[in-house]
Amino acid sequence: MRSPSRLLRPLRPLRLLAITCAVTAGAALGAVPAHAAPVYPVALPDAFYSQPPNLADARPGDVLDSRVMPAPPLFLDTDAVQLKFRTTNSEGKPLAAVTTVLSPRGAAPNRPVLSFQHVVNALGLHCAPSQALYTSDPDIVIREAPALHIALQRGWSVALPDHLGPNSSYGAARLGGQITLDGIRAVRNFEPLQAGESPVAAAGYSGGAMATSWAAALAPVYAPDIQLAGSAYGGTPMDLTWMAESLGYDSHPVFGLAMAAALGLEREYPDRMPITEQLNDRGLAVRDQIANGCTNEIIRGGAGLSAGQVAKSLSLADDPETRRVLDENSLVHYTDSVPNAPVYEWHAQTDFLISVPAIEETNRRYCAAGVSVTSAAVPSPDHMSAAVIGLPGALDFLDARFAGKPAPRC
């Protein structure tokens, strides 16, 4: 495994272009230069998801709209409500996002609240948790539902934010953290939920772990009014450059995810990362095929490809702005603040999709700063099975924090 310190060395031109085709992304609401022409997702035919006027007049976490929902198909004896709330994008501009809150029927006031960031590998808005909960989405059925049921059976409420934002900005890690924190604020602000004094925690795996880990790190500076009881995240992509080199440089079975992340990055930073103008005809065809896709469509659309096969130019290779965008979304590089609550981190013993050295470096830095970090290498041979294996331990860790038990030292 390569060390995160490797980022200080010069990158070969094609590798840096691969980075632009394999890093994570966010939602941008500013003006878009004509030459960049990013492709945004098809809007949902539901006014609840619209961006209301005068967003700047609201505070982060203010509830802009709400609606009671039927219980999702997998969750009997559960109350559900969706909240639209004000949050902030990566450039500090206001936007609206949505969270879905599940509660046990007859839940006690001020019960624990878990913000659970679902694994969302998508460019389409219909793939977001608020939509997927009401479908047969396999990620929720296989990997997410058991953990959510455990939480609900313990009497907790579970909030599932659409943490990719209103442009389905796949992988914009910092954006996801901000949406997560403002979603927690919204839950507390919404009086019918009776959660104004609830202890809160955050959890997620893989893409959901990106949002969770960034929420934990940003909480002291972005949301000092929120004191998390703890956070638990697993399989966390903390080094986007490492991932880009691993997924984007050579032909790869899941290059579609890399391509999707590059397009999402362009959505978040259209002035700084004009990906579309770098694509050749084949790249444009792949873009059009996956621009509104969920995981399976994205993987099929880019299977076996590489950055060199979809790009017509290497002009981004020497652009320092590319590097800055990557660093801004790589937790291993974020040093402005550290979590102010205990952390549980887990990963597979063997995982070729993420940089374990980046996780270890971040854990060491947190421990040196006085953060309580529990790290677990679960007995799993691959990235996704580790989610199922590691989640029970993560939930037990958070249960102990909700109970007020002291967290173990590093």
- Domain with 57 in it: 1-410
User: Is the model's pTM score more than 0.85?
Assistant: yes
Tally the domains of the chain: 1
Distance CA 235, CA 208 (A): 9
Distance CA 73, CA 255 (A): 33
Query: Token match 């010069």: residue?
Result: 10
Q: DSSP character for 341?
A: S
Distance CA 254, CA 139 (A): 16
Residue 258: predicted pLDDT: 83
* Residues pairing with 94 in the sheet: 88
The two structure tokens encoding residue 311:
């790009």
> How many Cα atoms sit within 13 Å of 23 on the Cβ side?
32
Distance CA 257, CA 370 (A): 36
338 with 287: CB under 8 angstroms?
no
> In 3-state terms, what secondary structure has residue 78?
strand
The two structure tokens encoding residue 193:
């939920």
From the list 118, 147, 121, 123, the residue with the least C-alpha distance to 133 is 118
Residue 12: predicted pLDDT: 35
Residue 2: predicted pLDDT: 35
Residue 34: predicted pLDDT: 41
> In 3-state terms, what secondary structure has residue 112?
coil
**CA of residue 334 relative to chain centroid, distance:** 16
Rounded-to-10 torsion of CA 62, 66, 71, 76:
50
* Residues pairing with 196 in the sheet: none
Distance CA 122, CA 130 (A): 13
Residue 228: predicted pLDDT: 98
Residue 104: predicted pLDDT: 97
Residue 13: predicted pLDDT: 31
Distance CA 14, CA 307 (A): 8
Residue 138: predicted pLDDT: 56
Q: DSSP character for 349?
A: S
| Tens of each residue's pLDDT in the chain, 410 residues | 333 333 323 333 334 334 444 333 333 333 333 444 789 999 999 999 999 999 999 999 999 999 999 999 888 899 999 999 999 999 999 999 999 999 999 999 999 999 999 998 899 999 999 999 988 665 555 567 888 999 999 999 999 999 999 999 997 899 999 999 999 999 999 999 999 999 999 999 999 999 999 999 999 999 999 999 999 999 999 998 887 777 666 788 888 988 888 898 889 988 888 888 889 999 999 999 999 999 889 999 999 998 889 987 655 445 678 778 888 999 999 999 999 999 999 999 888 888 999 999 999 999 999 999 999 999 988 888 898 899 999 999 999 999 999 999 88
Distance CA 169, CA 186 (A): 21
Distance CA 129, CA 361 (A): 31
Q: DSSP character for 294?
A: -
Residue 291: predicted pLDDT: 95
Residue type at 205 in one-letter notation: Y
From the list 83, 82, 87, the residue with the least C-alpha distance to 60 is 87
CATH number at residue 110: 3.40.50.1820
E strand spans, 170-229: 200-205
Distance CA 298, CA 254 (A): 8
Distance CA 363, CA 235 (A): 13
64 φ, ψ (degrees, to nearest 5)? -95, -25
